[in-house]
Amino acid sequence: MTKSGRLPLSKGGAELWVLFKLPSLVKEGWFRFTEPGSLGNKTKEKSLPLYLLNIIIIKKRMKILKFLMALMLCSYGMAQSNISNERIRSTKDVLRSTIANRYGAVVTIELGSDKILKERFGHTDASKRSKITAHTFFHVGSITKSVTALAIMQLVEEGRIRLDDHLGKFFKDIPSPKSSITIKDLLQHTSGLRQTYVTDDIQDFDTAKNAMLNDSLFYQPRQSWSYSNSNYSLLAMIVEKVANCSYEYYVRNNVLLPLNMRETYFWGEIDDTNASYFAQKTYEPSALSKQRNWGYTGCGGMISTQADLKRFAHEVLYKKKLLKKETYDQIFSDTFKIRDGLSMGLGWFVSTDEKGAVEYWSRGSNDFGHNAVIRYFPKKELLVMVLTNSGEADGNPRATGNRILSDLILEQLDRE
């Protein structure tokens, strides 16, 4: 480094060396190229400010320079984030005091390319032998539905199914008026199917299908909205019918692996009682319930980690990989209005607050204590993601860690 504090640029030798010190770079906007002379040649040093990076040309080094340029600009952008370090520390303190070692949790906050916070709290169980990490497994509940929706939209893009296809295309002898239910109705919970858990513990395809299709409707298709796991269990069955393989096989090979999600599993695939790698539950479901069954297939039952679920959010919400851009636009814009400020897209909820801020979200909770949420604000490019094994406070299904912590985070980030 020169006496002026600027980082010098040296030319002449066989190989490019890049040395930079991030604090100095952010503070002064300088970096250094050092290209040692071969065979003892002397080098000449020149100072170069960051804003002149885009006009540097070094023969046969353009790919390296482009990479460096992106890296420097990314680092510079992070330094300019409008979320202060003090605000981040305050958010961590609030989260820590709220959790208070009562349960395990992982939290991710990102703003565009800025990684604001990636934190783990607590242990996997009461023995406190294993700390929660980025690779600790959690059941993520109904976030599974958003993954099922991606699988369905893949098949739509390929022309193998249509959103207006009726159930009669895939299943025989469907009683009326269920025969008029479409794939889009299932995706948006407008089928009229009720949340009666009629497929819990049922492993046979036909038995589960008949249980759902013989259950009474809450209302006529498309006349209202009501949340039901049966909608997504039927979508999983449609995936199996069309792809001629199990739901899990199709999703793993066509959704998870292409998104590099190698720490994501399905109900019954791994031992969730091992506290060395799995956050523990408030109670253990029966041995029968823990086997693969249609009460969890397509609608819940996905198991993932902070690292993998962040990949999912990044690839789908930021980068919009796997599907065409216009398909993602449809997922979030082709909505059914539930009430003022809340609509149902194709596998995702879409909220609008009193200030007009739009939020895409997917959330899941299990009665044995695990819960998770992904919340994304497209205008700000703000992502908030939480996974916990908090259970319910005082038996209130709305008082779960995913809701409480994500709301606290947004309150902290929005305060003046």
Phi and psi (nearest 5°) for 48? Answer: -140, 125
Judged against a pLDDT cut of 60, whether residue 143 lies above it is answered with yes
Q: Is the dihedral of CA 219, 224, 229, 234 positive or negative?
A: positive
Average pLDDT, the chain: 85
Which residue blocks in 15-173 are alpha helix, DSSP H? 22-28, 62-79, 85-99, 143-157
**Is the domain of 337 the same as that of 279?**
yes
**Is the domain of 20 the same as that of 132?**
no
**Is the domain of 18 the same as that of 144?**
no
Helix axis angle, 85-99 to 401-414, nearest 10°: 150
**Is the domain of 23 the same as that of 138?**
no
Range picked from 34-38, 205-209, 390-394 for highest mean pLDDT = 205-209
Give this prediction's pTM. 0.81
* Cα separation, 48 vs 32, whole angstroms: 8
**Is the domain of 400 the same as that of 375?**
yes
pLDDT tens digit sequence for 258-288 = 999 999 999 999 999 999 999 999 999 998 8
The residue ranking higher by pLDDT, 121 or 60, is 121
In a domain, 156, yes or no: no
Q: Alpha carbon of 356 to those of 51, 330, 352, 396: distances in Å?
A: 36, 20, 6, 29
| Total residues belonging to the chain | 416
In a domain, 207, yes or no: no
Range picked from 20-29, 170-179, 374-383 for highest mean pLDDT = 374-383
Q: What is the mean pLDDT of residues 191-211?
A: 97
**Is the domain of 322 the same as that of 385?**
yes
Helix axis angle, 143-157 to 325-333, nearest 10°: 130
Q: Could you tell me which residues come within 8 angstroms of residue 49 by beta carbon, excluding any fewer than 6 positions away?
A: 6, 29, 30
pLDDT of 105 reads 98
- 8 A C-beta contact, residue 388 and residue 103: yes
Choice among 12-26, 112-126, 273-287 with the minimum mean pLDDT: 12-26
**Is the domain of 259 the same as that of 380?**
yes
pLDDT of 26 reads 40
Q: Which of 79, 102, 125 is at the close of a domain?
A: 79
Q: Map tokens 């895409």 to a residue.
A: 360
Q: Map tokens 């071969």 to a residue.
A: 38
- 8 A C-beta contact, residue 138 and residue 279: yes
Return the number of other C-beta atoms located less than 10 Å from residue 315's C-beta. 17
DSSP state of 259: G
Judged against a pLDDT cut of 60, whether residue 10 lies above it is answered with no
**Is the domain of 93 the same as that of 56?**
no
Closest CA to 252 of 237, 263, 241: 263
In a domain, 112, yes or no: yes
pLDDT tens digit sequence for 298-351 = 999 999 999 999 999 999 999 999 999 999 999 999 999 999 999 999 999 999
pLDDT of 393 reads 82
Q: Alpha carbon of 158 to those of 9, 152, 188, 250, 323: distances in Å?
A: 52, 10, 21, 14, 10
Q: What is the mean pLDDT of residues 376-401?
A: 93
**Is the domain of 52 the same as that of 134?**
no
Q: Which of 44, 60, 79 is at the close of a domain?
A: 79
**Is the domain of 67 the same as that of 99?**
no
> What is the extent of the structural domain holding 28?
8-79
Tokens representing residue 157 in the block: 């893009």
Q: Which of 29, 45, 79 is at the close of a domain?
A: 79
In a domain, 388, yes or no: yes
H or E stretch including 240? helix 229-243
**Number of structural domains in the chain:** 2
**Is the domain of 341 the same as that of 396?**
yes
* Cα separation, 350 vs 343, whole angstroms: 5
* Cα separation, 226 vs 194, whole angstroms: 7
pLDDT of 18 reads 38
**Is the domain of 362 the same as that of 288?**
yes
Kindly report the CATH number assigned to the domain that includes residue 359.
3.40.710.10
In a domain, 108, yes or no: yes
- 8 A C-beta contact, residue 112 and residue 76: no
In a domain, 166, yes or no: no
Tokens representing residue 409 in the block: 């985070």
In a domain, 229, yes or no: no
* Cα separation, 199 vs 294, whole angstroms: 5
Tokens representing residue 245 in the block: 């393989």
Judged against a pLDDT cut of 90, whether residue 19 lies above it is answered with no
In a domain, 346, yes or no: yes
**393 DSSP β-pair partners:** 396
Return the number of other C-beta atoms located less than 10 Å from residue 370's C-beta. 30
